Amino acid sequence: MAHIQVRIDEKTKKEAMKLFDEMGLDVSKAVNLYLAEVIRTESIPFKIQTKKAWERSQTKRKRKK
């Protein structure tokens, strides 16, 4: 079994651990699920974009309303 070390701020860790606990997961299981999804889809399972792209998308959204 391989080990991965990740640095995160304490607040993020506590909030994530609380949510994982509600789902019956620990951090290790949650990370394994994430990595399995990355492998399955060959992509990050959520949208990643620059701040500029996000701001453009928000402007377009507001125009549609």
pLDDT digits (tens, 9 = 90+) for 10-56: 999 999 999 999 999 999 999 999 999 999 999 999 989 999 998 99
Instruction: Please give the pLDDT value at position 44.
Output: 95
How many residues are present in the chain?
65
Instruction: Please give the pLDDT value at position 29.
Output: 97
Quickly state the pLDDT bin for 4 (edges 50, 70, 90).
very high
Cβ atoms of residues 32 and 38 within 8 Å: no
Q: How far apart are CA 64 and CA 61, in angstroms?
A: 5
pTM: predicted TM-score of the whole model, two decimal places: 0.73
Quickly state the pLDDT bin for 61 (edges 50, 70, 90).
confident
Please provide residue 57's backbone torsions phi and psi, each rounded to the nearest 5 degrees: -65, -35
